[in-house]
Amino acid sequence: MIPSLFPRRLLAALTLGGLALSAQAADFTVAYQTTVDPAKVAQADGAYEKASKSEIDWRKFDSGAEVITAVASGDVQIGYVGSSPLAAAATRQLPIQTFLIATQIGDAEALVARNGAGITKPEDLIGKKIAVPFVSTGHYSLLAALKHWQIDPTKVTILNLAPPAIVAAWQRGDIDATYVWDPALGVAKSNGKVLISSAELGKLGAPTFDAWIVRKDFAEKHPEVVRAFAKVTLDAYADYRKDPKAWLADKANIDKLVKLSGAKAEDIPLLLQGNVFPLAADQATALGAPTTQAISETAAFLKEQGKVDAVLPDYGPYVSSKYVTN
């Protein structure tokens, strides 16, 4: 167990002789999202707790912006975010570090136009309502897509909605399009047309990725926990990539992903194939110039769009490979 991180016991005075009741508190809190990735099997199996010798409070968040707020407040020590909220957080100089690239986003995020909304080509988006969680990778990708198509963002109505709200609005017919991830993406695709995916935008020069971040104060005090967290994640990726077909044939794996992501079982194979999960050998290189450059370029784009006030001269302090190389 991690000593002195939180009060170890919650004491409640009873009666007669000062008897007390104690309850175990979590050692640290992890913010996760509904993305479909192999490491959710390890999460369901309790592998992170075993490796870190800790009690973990897992909290589900609907967007990276919400995760950043929780990490900034100190309520969360480790969190899963996309490259856009990561760039915004680093630009605000929050006390965080990226210690693992979780996934390079491909077809698992996409812009979908609702059937019946009168959208058959990009130009038809003009005058329409598009929902996206603000400062998310989906938001960044939507703005990048509009820029690629030379569509002025002021010519469309962009609504800030969390994925659950997007699903509800979509089903009511209140929105015409959305740029989002699963399970909301699956709902949209069942009654809509994909206009462009993050895989395509990556090839056009606007790549996105998801990452695990950690509060710097927590990492400095408990580096062994961060290393253990990274190792469990990378072992899960290696297990999947060793034989994806065999991994997917194991119903227990699918059931665990369905439970933690909310995605449909039949959609999971394509969702896993829609992203790239970097192995340990790739992480050491990625958690250096490629990631700092990607964060810098994302921040520059966000500044251009008026989402951040400035771009830092160096994002190196917000990325570290030491938890995957030592």
Cα–Cα distance, 260 to 254 (Å, whole number): 10
* Mean local confidence (pLDDT), 2-30: 48
Percent of the chain with pLDDT over 70: 92
Task: Give the residue among 48, 102, 58, 63 at the shortest CA–CA distance from 276.
Answer: 102
DSSP code at position 309: S
pLDDT attached to residue 2: 52
Residue 305 binned pLDDT confidence (cut-offs 50, 70, 90): confident
Q: What is the pLDDT of residues 161-213, one digit of tens each?
A: 999 999 999 999 999 999 999 889 999 999 999 999 999 999 998 989 999 99
Cα–Cα distance, 73 to 237 (Å, whole number): 30
Residue 233 binned pLDDT confidence (cut-offs 50, 70, 90): very high
Cβ atoms 40, 108 nearer than 8 A: no
Torsion of CA 272, 273, 277, 278, to 10 degrees: 170
Mean per-residue pLDDT of the chain: 91
Upstream peptide bond of 269 is cis (omega within 30 degrees of 0): no
152 burial level (CB within 10 Å; 0-12, 13-18, 19+): exposed
Confidence check: pLDDT of 34 > 70: yes
pTM of the entire predicted model: 0.83
